């Protein structure tokens, strides 16, 4: 699944681990245009137990963490470029 947020594309993947005990979640963040294209944000990775959390909740958790990472980058970048 992919979505865009503040000039970044977030691609989320969720799959069970080899033992089928945990969800392996990953959100790849890629800048699309302007200043975001040059930005490098680390992928968000999360491992959660399947017995406690269903796949939709795991997907939601990694999406929220990716959006928070983008928002933090945007706040820092905007603060650094605004005139005093």
Instruction: State the pLDDT at residue 79.
Output: 72
> Over the stretch 28-81, which tens digit does the pLDDT of each residue have?
999 998 889 989 999 999 999 999 889 999 999 999 999 999 999 999 988 766
Per-residue confidence (pLDDT) for residue 81, from 0 to 100: 65
Residue 46 in contact with residue 58, Cβ under 8 Å?
yes
Contact indicator for 25, 45 with CB cutoff of 8 Å = yes
> Domain total for the chain?
1
Beta strand ranges found along the chain (DSSP E): 2-5, 8-16, 22-31, 44-49
Quote the domain boundaries for residue 25: 2-81
- Can you give the pTM of this predicted structure? 0.87
């Amino acid at each position: 699944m992919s979505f865009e947020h503040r000039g970044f594309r977030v691609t989320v993947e969720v799959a069970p681990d080899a033992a089928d005990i945990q969800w392996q979640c990953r959100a790849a963040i890629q800048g699309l245009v302007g200043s975001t294209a040059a930005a490098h944000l680390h992928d968000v990775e999360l491992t959660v137990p399947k017995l406690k959390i269903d796949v939709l909740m795991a997907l939601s958790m990694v999406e929220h963490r990716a959006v928070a990472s983008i928002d933090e980058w945007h706040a820092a970048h905007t603060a650094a470029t605004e005139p005093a």
